[in-house]
Amino acid sequence: MVGRTKEELESYAIVDPAMAAIAASEPLRDPLPTDPYYGDSSYAAMRAHRATTLAEKHHLRYIPGPIPDQVSEEDRKIPVRDGSEITARIYRPVQKPAGGSSLIVAYHEGAWSMGDLTDEETNCRNFTRELGAVCVNVEYRLAPEHPFPTWIEDSWDALKWVAQNATSLGADPSLGFIVGGASAGSNISAVLTHIARDENLSPPLTGQYLCVPAILCFTPPALVSPKYRAEYLSHPDVTTSQDAVMRMANGAQALELIHSVLHASWADPRFVPFLYGAAKGAHRDLPPAYFQVCGADPLRDEGLIYEKILREEAGVRTRLDLYKGFYHCFWMNWPQMDKSREFVEDTLSGVRWLLEQKKT
């Protein structure tokens, strides 16, 4: 596997002038005295602050709100293994396509401990409106209240429920059955493709959308095989991150998140999907994958390495869009940028490509 050079990887991290300008003029704000959680250092307050600051920019999104004349939305409860229920929002085209609807299941971002259905609503509305797909947006339970492996068990239970109920949801998985999401959501999706393969999910998945994916989950470089370590430069213990979104200064922050908040392990492939490469079946026989990777993102090299492994070592068809000089999840935090609109349009094109792979 021919690797990218250190100079090439470093060039991806040079912050784009437009990214630098808007991050300086409109930085992600700290809590204000008018916020109800001001002065609260709890994790719940951190979660509320993230939700508040993103909600302040919802009106600037590519699709700022519901489009009931084109897409219907319905919340459903899905049973999970411990007897609880989680919420999923179902998006259906108002005008059902003559050829039927593919099926897309979305998992939101937020470091497995934040986020909600609003994080993936733009994509779901866009996929339903433009592709005629039925989309299921899953609200898995979050750490620290629900530590690992709760979120992956919820997500797998939801995926099985969707597969079993596809027809009643109005979808035809034979036209395409895709899982996807951003950041933690792409991590979940990457794990689920392996579980679905090994557990023979029926109908089978046909595609995976991996946006700024967490594949190694900040695994310390010393624990990564030397075969890949030379291309694992975006880890904050190797390169000082400039990312104004993630603000990951060093690996100690990742360690704190993973151990004290998530209670996850870098040795468990249900958290670190990269590890399936050493397990049964490795990464072979997975569905085609569409990647979006940001050049100034501490997670950059996790995505680039995994894309190359799937393509060159596992024989999986892949497509990659690389956004040189842009921060992690920049399109959510500054949706008014031209590049953010381009990113959303690329997402649609990439998922359309995944659906086309089903036909070849």
- Angstrom CA distances, 339 to 127, 255, 333, 351, stand at 19, 32, 12, 18
pLDDT at site 215:
98
Please, which residues have CB within 8 angstroms of residue 328's CB and are 6 or more apart in sequence?
183, 212, 243, 245, 246, 294, 296, 297, 298, 299
Q: Which residue shows structure tokens 């990887």?
A: 9
Q: Which H helix or E strand runs over 318? A: strand 318-323
Round the average pLDDT of the chain to a whole number and report it: 95
Report if residue 195 sits inside a domain: yes
262 pLDDT above the threshold of 90: yes
226 pLDDT above the threshold of 70: yes
pLDDT band, very low/low/confident/very high, at 360 (cuts 50, 70, 90): low
pLDDT at site 138:
98
pLDDT at site 144:
96
Report if residue 36 sits inside a domain: no
Angle at the Cα of 250 from the Cα atoms of 310 and 235, rounded to 5 degrees: 20
212 pLDDT above the threshold of 90: yes
Report if residue 332 sits inside a domain: yes
pLDDT at site 249:
64
| Tens-digit pLDDT profile for residues 157-193 | 999 999 999 999 999 999 999 999 999 999 999 999 9
For the chain, the domain total comes to 1
Residue 289 pairs in a beta bridge with: 208, 318
- The phi, psi pair for 178, rounded to 5°, reads -120, 145
Q: Residues 234-253: what's their mean pLDDT?
A: 85
pLDDT at site 281:
67
Of 353 and 257, the structure prediction assigns the larger pLDDT to 353
pLDDT at site 1:
54
Where do the H-state alpha helices sit in the chain?
Answer: 6-12, 17-25, 43-55, 121-131, 150-164, 166-169, 184-198, 226-229, 251-256, 300-308, 330-333, 338-357
pLDDT at site 59:
97
Q: How many CB atoms lie under 10 A from the CB of residue 33? A: 6
Report if residue 172 sits inside a domain: yes
pLDDT band, very low/low/confident/very high, at 240 (cuts 50, 70, 90): confident
The whole domain housing 225 covers 6-31+42-357
Residue 77 amino acid letter: K
Q: Residues 48-57: what's their mean pLDDT?
A: 96
| Tens-digit pLDDT profile for residues 10-33 | 999 999 999 999 999 999 999 999
Report if residue 326 sits inside a domain: yes
Question: Percent of the chain scored above 70 by pLDDT?
Answer: 98
* 219: CATH: 3.40.50.1820
Strands 85-93 and 134-139: antiparallel
| Tens-digit pLDDT profile for residues 266-307 | 999 999 999 998 765 699 999 999 999 999 999 999 999 999
pTM of this prediction exceeds 0.85 = yes
- The phi, psi pair for 345, rounded to 5°, reads -70, -35
Is residue 322 classed as helix, strand or coil in its secondary structure?
A: strand
Report if residue 235 sits inside a domain: yes
Q: Residues 322-351: what's their mean pLDDT?
A: 98
pLDDT at site 239:
87
Report if residue 37 sits inside a domain: no
Report if residue 309 sits inside a domain: yes
Question: Percent of the chain scored above 90 by pLDDT?
Answer: 91
Q: Residues 311-316: what's their mean pLDDT?
A: 96
| Tens-digit pLDDT profile for residues 112-145 | 999 999 999 999 999 999 999 999 999 999 999 9
pLDDT at site 306:
97
- Angstrom CA distances, 183 to 18, 52, 213, 346, stand at 22, 19, 5, 17
| Tens-digit pLDDT profile for residues 80-114 | 999 999 999 999 999 999 999 999 999 999 999 99
Strands 177-182 and 103-107: parallel
